[in-house]
Structure 1
Amino acid sequence: MDTATLLLIASLVFLAAGLVKGVIGLGMPTVAMGLLTLVMPPAAAANLLLMPTIITNLWQLMPLATFRPLLRRLAGLIVGLFVGATFNGLPSLGDTDRSAEAALGIILVVYGLWALVARRLPPPGRHEVWLSPIVGYLTGAITAATGIFVVPLVPYLQSLGLEKDRMVQAMGIAFCAATLALMAGLGTGGVLDASRIGSSLVYLVPAILGMWVGQHIRRRVSESTFKRGFFVALILLGLYMMRQA
């Protein structure tokens, strides 16, 4: 595939991924990773989504007054993310036997099915202090193998009982940390590509444009209807990837 075609396809992918994030507040790396791996190796796709994912999540870290308490609360989770991404026995994104595509497909199907059922996990309560590092480790390991960090991270965050604004902030903190953990995992696996990371900055434009369009769509379309369509599409994409792998 020539450079111009790849640039066009990746730009459309990030436009679509940003649109999803604009409507439902998450899902950009999930959509980008799922679609990019249809046209490039998973390791290359993961390198491309690093900077757009980090930068588009930075706004969720504010305000600073509540950032520090949340960061302290999520510290165990974040440590677990980095440990899981760098020390695990799962196949890495750099493997050439298509195991990464199969694993990514499975994660998309599992996440889509869980989201459609939409059953919230029970609050961890006093168990949060030891459960957070375990959830972080599992998420980090899955992230290093697939480039996706929604399972079990998102269901766990939703179980913490945070009010809406703090939940958005907690997701921003966790997603930024998970993306940095993915970067560490790519480095450990020997597939971190600095040139591709640098070139990925160009995809910030379609990603931000997509988020802007998505925010306008959110005001006109039922969020629940959009979510159902989105998660059904994720399941179909996951099944297709599993079949191809």
Structure 2
Amino acid sequence: MEISPEILTIIALVFLVAGTIKGLIGIGLPTIAISLMSLVIDARLAITLTIIPMFASNIWQVYRGGKILETLRKYWIFSTLLIISIFCTALISRSVSSDIILIILGSVVTIYAILSLLKWAPRIAAQHDPHAQTGFGLAAGILGGFTAIWAPPLIIYLTSRQIPKDEFIRATGMLITVGSTPLLFGYVQNGLLTPELATTASLMTIPVLIGFIVGEFLRKYISTAKFHTIVLSIFAVMGANLVYRGFFS
């Protein structure tokens, strides 16, 4: 599929913005990129173009965060179920409309973010963590396979566990990386990620990483409390946008 130079420029700017947000709060690249690109290109094409930049930026985030094995051991249940459910769902995603999924996903994200900002968010005790990882891992994988967006269930899980800022960044980087891998293979297998689109998507990694470095620099000057407020505020806006897209895309 040929994309005009004007649209490519807009897409590159979108990835620069999305990369900056990701560098700042550790998540949000696919949600922001897909939401904004969908204003100028088909939503399914936007999802496809996001997969490779998402994968590359999370490899970088995992490397920068360190403690890879420790993080993987702590979240292995979430990781395993995420990989399996994303790959299985991605194989059938070509024939499934994402509108209903976007409406449900956006509603959950918006309601949770608002309740959290009002200090009404649920808390998950340590003894219930295995069950929480199981439920949220499956939910994230199913949503991710259809829409390439699985950060919202991940964020709900991590904020409900009251994860500190640095661990939050490490966990999101690792869990989005392990989910990006089966999603990438799934989209190649179902024919959506063609060699031409893969080349374009790979080039978009450049503005993403530039933005990531900028956001990472800004994160140093934000306290943990303000960090969580920024995360939840951004997700409230993104959740509302997902609902809008589900109804009007």
TM-score (norm 1): 0.81
Report % sequence identity: 24
Deviations 1:177-233 (A, max 9, x none): 12123224424544233431232121122222333444566549x757755763453
Would you say how many aligned residue pairs link Structure 1 and Structure 2? 242
Name the residue aligned to 2:202.
Answer: 201
Name the residue aligned to 1:117.
Answer: 115
Name the residue aligned to 1:234.
Answer: 238
Name the residue aligned to 2:25.
Answer: 24
In 1, are the aligned partners of 2:105 and 2:239 still within 8 Å (CA)?
no
In 2, are the aligned partners of 1:121 and 1:156 still within 8 Å (CA)?
no
RMSD over aligned CA atoms reads 3.2
Deviations 1:97-147 (A, max 9, x none): xx2144234423432332232254423533433442332122111111121
Pick closer, same or farther for the CA change 1:157–1:20 going to 2, 3 Å. same
What are the equivalent positions in structure 2 for 1:60-209 lying under 5 Å apart? Answer: 60-62=61-63, 66-88=67-89, 92-95=92-95, 99-118=97-116, 119-187=120-188, 189-209=190-210
Pick closer, same or farther for the CA change 1:172–1:232 going to 2, 3 Å. closer
In 1, are the aligned partners of 2:62 and 2:68 still within 8 Å (CA)?
yes
In 1, are the aligned partners of 2:86 and 2:144 still within 8 Å (CA)?
yes
Pick closer, same or farther for the CA change 1:138–1:194 going to 2, 3 Å. farther
Work out the CA distance in 1 between the residues paired with 2:191 and 2:46. 15
Deviations 1:147-167 (A, max 9, x none): 111232221133345443222
Does the alignment pair 1:53 with 2:54? yes
In 2, are the aligned partners of 1:42 and 1:101 still within 8 Å (CA)?
no
In 2, are the aligned partners of 1:43 and 1:186 still within 8 Å (CA)?
no
> 1:5 Cα deviation (Å)?
2.0
Pick closer, same or farther for the CA change 1:143–1:125 going to 2, 3 Å. same
Q: Gaps (5+ residues) in structure 2?
A: none
In 1, are the aligned partners of 2:113 and 2:233 still within 8 Å (CA)?
no
Pick closer, same or farther for the CA change 1:228–1:151 going to 2, 3 Å. closer
Query: One-letter code of the match for 1:233?
Result: V
Query: One-letter code of the match for 1:110?
Result: V
Query: One-letter code of the match for 1:42?
Result: A
